[in-house]
Amino acid sequence: MGDVATTAFDQLGVPLERDLFLRSLIRELAGTLEDVVGLAEASGFISVVGQRIGEIINNDYKAALDQSTLSREQVSAALVDLKARIQGDFYVVHEDEDKIVYGNRVCPFAEKVLDRTSMCMMTSNVFGTIAADNLGYAKVELQQTIAAGDAGCRVVVHLTQTAEAELAEGREYFGSITPA
């Protein structure tokens, strides 16, 4: 009798699997935080998680590349690669010694990110943590985001404290090494 009930449930068209469940969980957690403590505080909480995830991912890339510190080129490539691995579609628009500009066509959170701008702190903090740890400094500017209704994302990672970086709205990150 149990097999009949299990089989019947296996055939149901319930759109539930681990990835969708986890994206929905994060969306609802972000929404609840935004509703209870406000957008700024929710972004702060998500920033802490993003920093911790950034540290883990950074260590994974350094270990895989057998490097104690990644170069600017390696940081740039790692940030594109990590987003691809989690089903984002980030790409480099422009790169020089002062900044890396990324575009993105697909958010890893897919439709679950819409109207949940606090979730963008994951990108800001992961990118900022990795860049600053390896290069000494980063300021991440989220110029456009899918979460805010833009067609894609435009993320600028300032690597030096230039006048442009100073004027940019974003979060600063500092590593333990002195920038070259």
Under the banding of pLDDT at 50, 70 and 90, the label for residue 179 is: low
Give pLDDT, residue 15: 83
Q: Where is pLDDT greater, at 48 or 12?
A: 48
The answer as to CATH 3.30.200.100 being correct for domain 11-174 is no
CA distance 122 to 49: 7
Boundaries of every domain in the chain: 11-174
DSSP letters spanning 123-155:
HHHHHHHHHHHHHSEEEEEEEE-TTTT-SSEEE
122 Cβ neighbours under 8 A, 6+ residues apart: 46, 49, 50, 53
> What does pTM read for this prediction?
0.88
Residue 173 phi/psi, 5° resolution?
-135, 140
> What share of the chain in percent tops pLDDT 70?
94
Ranges 9-18, 70-79, 169-178, most confident: 70-79
What tens digit of pLDDT does each residue of 6-36 get?
667 878 888 888 999 999 999 999 999 999 9
Model pLDDT for residues 98-118, shown as the tens digit of each residue: 999 999 999 999 999 999 999
Closest residue by Cα to residue 23 from 142, 127, 119: 119
pLDDT score recorded for residue 161: 96
pLDDT of 136 > 80? The answer is yes
